[in-house]
Structure 1
Amino acid sequence: MTQPTRPSGYASKPWLGLLSAAQRAPVSPPPSLLHAFREAVARAPGRTALAYFDGRIGYAETDALSDSVAGHLAAHGIGRGDRVAVMLQNTPHFVLAVLAAWKAGAVVVPLNPMYKAGEIGHILRDSGAAALVCEERAWTAYAAGAARGTAVRVALTASDRDFQSRNDPRVFAPAEPDAAPSAAPGAVPEPATAEPADAPAPADLTAVARRGHPAPPDPGLTAADTALISYTSGTSGTPKGAMNPHGALTHNAVRQVTGHPLPEGATYFALAPLFHITGMVCELGACLANAGTLVLAHRFDAGVVLDAFLAHRPAYTVGPATAFMALAAHPEATADHFASFQVLSSGGAPLPPALVERLRAAYGFYLRNGYGLTECTAPCASVPVHLEAPVDPASGTLSVGLPGADTLVRILDEHGAEVPFGETGEIAVRGPQVAPGYWGLPADTAKAFPDGELRTGDVGFMDADGWLYVVDRKKDMINASGFKVWPREVEDVLYTHPAVREAAVVGVPDPYRGESVKAYVSLRPGASAEPHELSRYCAARIAAYKYPREVEILPVLPKTTSGKILRRELRDRG
């Protein structure tokens, strides 16, 4: 790692000197994204709010449609503080359901459509959700069963074919059957079951939206009210629900707008799923705060996304590094597909420096790194548009960016004391975007948010200028013969190999070393490499105790829908 250059002084916020005037200037976000949406309706009622393949929905129409859904929810007893679970892909229904829930005064519980019945049931029970919105196929196949025995009393279902032409050749036809959306190849779908006797009879969301129900009275949302209960991805255990306040969403959404030089009404592409905090804030939230147009394309398919880039010419998108890897690997990808973008950002998964340079050389754009967690309502550090992220010369780690003007990031040792700049420790975050805690888990809240500061569980360091570097998750550290090995460092080396598309490194039991390093990789289309070749490649570039003794090549690495590679699954695989 880099050597400390002067005593610790995180409270001085050295990064402020590198931020632009707009990024340093104070902001006054509206109390909620619902307020931001209504301001956009007033400013530009005829502007397209949502673009879905060849379908277009204006701001005034989006307002009226979501009013009707809110009226339906209210008529069925959904009111202030109730929880509404929304389990949808990137379709107009998602936005309508979220706006409607907030108009009714409810709290949104975003659910990953990849979840199986047991995972859905856990979150429905844990959150006490009173309503569930999902695709009609999911309801029939498994969601109705998952809702059985929970507090769910209202159900709305949606068809992903609504709000666009069935004749549009760009429409991505979902896999059938849809009992396990986006399931891994070879996965066995859960069998369809009859609707349980105690499950509510579902209503069609689109029909409800077009019925013209009057909206309920304004719920008077405040910045302190909970907007979302966002369940962590569960990559390392049982998901916990972070309580994201309305004010945290609007703060980060407005900071996205002030930090990016996009004109009002700009087009945003929803590459990250909206049910993930990155998509919710950096795509939907920023778009509403800027009265922009949000382009939706159901779920990620590289060819469909590239077609949408040409059709809609968006100015901004954010997604995990794995999504950009897939786009770059598509045989039809050209620089023209990315020519309209003013800002392209990566978040939700580690970004290897080799990928940044590979994309720049091939397609002419610079991919900006960022860092955030569900518990801090998406970004708490990013690379300003007028700068490029440095790479730490000692470790080869690409910086995730600079904290915002309102954010304090510190690096702490195992006792909670600050370490000097350049030294490694746990990343801690304090600011208006940090959630107050976990839903129904006071002990976990006290541990993770002491005195309101988020202890992230991520290991990193900050240089004297304020650039933040994320090394890895604390729990992913490998102990090989007493030496610490951080998987990210080995993965970054693997990504420099021309044949490697994806890489993940885990520790596996070793009778001699205690743990040894194992790498899982997938290869770029048309490329070839042998495991021993990749192992030797790493051995020539990093210390002997770090290089992977074993390399296994897979067609694709397991990931969450948000693009994080599931090291836990690979570790269990052995």
Structure 2
Amino acid sequence: MTHILKGFIEEFNTKANHHPNRVFARFNGEEITFARLKTHADTLAAHLRLRGLKPGDRVAVMMRNSQFSLPVLFGIARAGAVWVPINAQLKGEGLRYILAHSKPKFVLCDVEYLATLKDCGAGTPSDALITIGGPADPGSLEAILRESKAFDDVAPDANDLFAIMYTSGTTGRPKGVLVSHGMLRLAGEAVQRLTAMRSGDVFFVWEPFFHIGGAQLIVLPIVEDVTLAMVDRFSASRFWDQVRGSAATHIHYLGGILQILLKQPEHPLDRQHAVRIAWGGGCPKDVWKKFSDRFGVEIRECYGMTEASSITTSNSDGVVGSVGKPMPWYTVEIVDENGNPCGPDERGEIVVRSTLDGALFTGYLDNPEATSRALVKSALRTGDVGALDANGNLWFHGRMTDSVRCKGENVSAWEVESLAATHPLVEDCAMIGVEAYVGEQDIKLFVKAKNGKSIDPRELSGWLTERLAPYQNPRYIKVVGEFERTPSQRIMKHLLSRELHDCWDRLTTGQSVGQAGSRDDQAAKSML
């Protein structure tokens, strides 16, 4: 395959014109053909243009996966606008900041999130709001898609901006990664290589599209004759029934998904499915063989970042625990703190370079400082720790900076600490990651009360729950009398206890498991 960065909308239009009845996706079993998707995308694009949208304007979207997800994404792209995906779990200041920072011309929002949107204080005007999934009033997406309008503008090219995808920072607010049409198309090519996909394959899609892990899948039916089998959300108890019902050949994982599936009761039908490959990031070495043996699938691990078109390396050689070797358009180097190359098996920062212009992002939205730290001499400084073995396989060893990988999300300590510090009883606080029951890590928050005050962890947890996304909400809270500090008064986080039994635990002293389903389903739900 010749590696040329290109857009995907023109290619989609061509395929829709030549094969209108080919099935692009099925959502909960309902067929979405290329023709239907193109008609809906064109209609939405034409509607937005009639309401004043110009190419390059931004459209924020806060929605769960539904039958409207693909028309929304393709309609925004078709109009030459820039998609701003918003994690549907966000609320309060986190949501307000992204809307204020990205300055969208329109906001498309599931009806169930209207109150959250209003309460965050972003001040979204009513004439900029398009609702999804509610009464089919004139301003709803459902009503718009019934209009069936034509749209004939030139399709965006590879270098045009497709999305601003916010990823949690490590010492500050979330950063808006500038993702081009070409980057998303390249992500599709990477998935094609990683998964050895072929014509007729079916990719099971449970992940939300507001993640790059989900977004990269929308180009797969364009680059190859495959079908997406979409469901509204992940369910551990229904997962394999859904996979069997869709005849899926590929499943995707992140975070603790594989562990959650392993914890489900063994069943005679565990191997009765069409899945050949499970692919994704975050499969622990001890889970790899257990999952493969039980369910009869091949594990293919990868590593990447939104900033580098999603996938940088892929493991197609079966080296258990490794994230594999670089895609043909990338090179990976491990450097020490002085920028010098590390030797085989020596740990250092993962640095990514590309021979393909446009494969790496151009920067973060309105954040030149963060951009200059990430892009140094045309190379991406990932902030991740890794090592290369003698055979060129990359091994991932975690984040260098102050963040926690929790339930499939990068959670910035700054985000949680800055919010917790505003509680009227909290004088100071610190957040760390600790061992999780499932997945990568759980969050432990240490708090010091103001002089003469006392803190009830249960009350504080309830207060945080109202203001943080579920994946940001600390599981553990420990009240301390004082923090050990550096001479510059920074809290010495490496000295904080990582014990799980010396603190208040939200899952064992908060809502009981019986009130909200199984522990595994709770953990999985909090990832989405």
TM-score for the superposition, normalised by structure 2: 0.76
Contact (CA 8 Å) 2:271, 2:296: kept in 1 or not? no
Unaligned runs of 5+ in 1: 1-24, 163-200, 391-397, 479-486, 495-499, 521-530, 532-548, 565-574
Displacement after TM superposition at 1:233 (Å)? 3.8
Contact (CA 8 Å) 1:297, 1:305: kept in 2 or not? no
Counterpart CA distance in 2 for 1:235 and 1:338 is: 43
* Aligned position for 1:469: 395
* Aligned position for 1:210: 146
1:374 paired with 2:306, answer: yes
* Aligned position for 1:34: 9
Q: Secondary structure at the match of 2:299?
A: coil
Contact (CA 8 Å) 1:518, 1:550: kept in 2 or not? no
Contact (CA 8 Å) 2:276, 2:298: kept in 1 or not? no
Counterpart CA distance in 2 for 1:371 and 1:444 is: 22
1:518 paired with 2:498, answer: yes
Counterpart CA distance in 2 for 1:218 and 1:418 is: 48
* Aligned position for 2:469: none
* Aligned position for 1:179: none
Q: Secondary structure at the match of 2:401?
A: helix
* Aligned position for 1:157: 131
| CA distances 1:501-551 after superposition (whole Å, capped 9, x unpaired) | 45637898997996155255xxxxxxxxxx7xxxxxxxxxxxxxxxxx999
1:439 paired with 2:439, answer: no
Contact (CA 8 Å) 1:315, 1:341: kept in 2 or not? yes
| CA distances 1:56-106 after superposition (whole Å, capped 9, x unpaired) | 121111110111111111111112100111112222212111111111110
Query: In structure 2, do the counterparts of structure 1 residues 144 and 476 end up closer, same or farther at CA, with 3 Å as the change threshold?
Result: closer
Displacement after TM superposition at 1:442 (Å)? 0.8
Counterpart CA distance in 1 for 2:235 and 2:438 is: 17
Give the letter for the 1:388 counterpart. Answer: G
Counterpart CA distance in 2 for 1:161 and 1:422 is: 58
Displacement after TM superposition at 1:33 (Å)? 2.4
- Taking only the aligned residue pairs, the percentage that are identical comes to 26
Which has the higher mean CA deviation after the structures are superposed, 233-242 or 223-232?
233-242
Query: In structure 2, do the counterparts of structure 1 residues 474 and 255 end up closer, same or farther at CA, with 3 Å as the change threshold?
Result: closer
Q: Secondary structure at the match of 1:38?
A: helix
Give the letter for the 2:111 counterpart. Answer: E
* Aligned position for 1:64: 39
Contact (CA 8 Å) 1:49, 1:293: kept in 2 or not? yes
Displacement after TM superposition at 1:452 (Å)? 2.6
Displacement after TM superposition at 1:309 (Å)? 0.6
Match of 1:451 among 365, 368, 377: 377
Query: In structure 2, do the counterparts of structure 1 residues 472 and 551 end up closer, same or farther at CA, with 3 Å as the change threshold?
Result: farther
Counterpart CA distance in 1 for 2:24 and 2:212 is: 20
Counterpart CA distance in 2 for 1:202 and 1:411 is: 55
Match of 2:183 among 234, 240, 248: 248
Give the letter for the 1:206 counterpart. Answer: E
Query: In structure 2, do the counterparts of structure 1 residues 280 and 334 end up closer, same or farther at CA, with 3 Å as the change threshold?
Result: farther
Query: In structure 2, do the counterparts of structure 1 residues 221 and 477 end up closer, same or farther at CA, with 3 Å as the change threshold?
Result: closer
Counterpart CA distance in 2 for 1:234 and 1:351 is: 23
* Aligned position for 2:295: 363
Q: Secondary structure at the match of 1:414?
A: coil
* Aligned position for 1:410: 333
Counterpart CA distance in 1 for 2:101 and 2:75 is: 22
Counterpart CA distance in 2 for 1:135 and 1:506 is: 29
Give the letter for the 2:107 counterpart. Answer: L
Query: In structure 2, do the counterparts of structure 1 residues 561 and 417 end up closer, same or farther at CA, with 3 Å as the change threshold?
Result: farther
Contact (CA 8 Å) 1:86, 1:94: kept in 2 or not? no
* Aligned position for 2:252: 318
Q: Secondary structure at the match of 2:149?
A: coil
Displacement after TM superposition at 1:328 (Å)? 2.6
The number of residues matched between the two structures is 444
Contact (CA 8 Å) 1:319, 1:346: kept in 2 or not? yes
1:504 paired with 2:504, answer: no
Contact (CA 8 Å) 2:271, 2:294: kept in 1 or not? no
| CA distances 1:377-399 after superposition (whole Å, capped 9, x unpaired) | 21101112xx2024xxxxxxx21
* Aligned position for 1:142: 116
Contact (CA 8 Å) 1:107, 1:227: kept in 2 or not? yes
How is 1:67-106 mapped onto 2 (pairs within 5 angstroms)? 67-106=42-81
Counterpart CA distance in 2 for 1:376 and 1:115 is: 25
* Aligned position for 1:352: 284
* Aligned position for 1:239: 174
* Aligned position for 1:388: 318
Query: In structure 2, do the counterparts of structure 1 residues 258 and 44 end up closer, same or farther at CA, with 3 Å as the change threshold?
Result: farther
Query: In structure 2, do the counterparts of structure 1 residues 64 and 502 end up closer, same or farther at CA, with 3 Å as the change threshold?
Result: closer
Counterpart CA distance in 1 for 2:503 and 2:299 is: 31
Q: CA RMSD in A?
A: 3.3
1:419 paired with 2:334, answer: no
Contact (CA 8 Å) 1:461, 1:470: kept in 2 or not? yes
Give the letter for the 1:306 counterpart. Answer: W
Counterpart CA distance in 1 for 2:199 and 2:121 is: 41
Q: Which of 1 and 2 has higher RCO (CA within 8 Å, sep 6+)?
A: 1
1:107 paired with 2:82, answer: yes
Contact (CA 8 Å) 1:112, 1:561: kept in 2 or not? no
Counterpart CA distance in 2 for 1:351 and 1:160 is: 39
Q: Secondary structure at the match of 2:274?
A: coil
How is 1:158-197 mapped onto 2 (pairs within 5 angstroms)? 158-159=132-133
How is 1:553-572 mapped onto 2 (pairs within 5 angstroms)? 554=507, 563=527
Contact (CA 8 Å) 1:68, 1:208: kept in 2 or not? yes
Query: In structure 2, do the counterparts of structure 1 residues 272 and 505 end up closer, same or farther at CA, with 3 Å as the change threshold?
Result: closer
Query: In structure 2, do the counterparts of structure 1 residues 306 and 469 end up closer, same or farther at CA, with 3 Å as the change threshold?
Result: same
Match of 1:126 among 95, 101, 120: 101
Displacement after TM superposition at 1:457 (Å)? 0.7
Contact (CA 8 Å) 1:270, 1:294: kept in 2 or not? yes
Give the letter for the 2:117 counterpart. Answer: A
Counterpart CA distance in 1 for 2:297 and 2:267 is: 13
Counterpart CA distance in 2 for 1:267 and 1:43 is: 21
Give the letter for the 2:301 counterpart. Answer: N
Give the letter for the 1:381 counterpart. Answer: T
| CA distances 1:293-312 after superposition (whole Å, capped 9, x unpaired) | 21221122223333321211
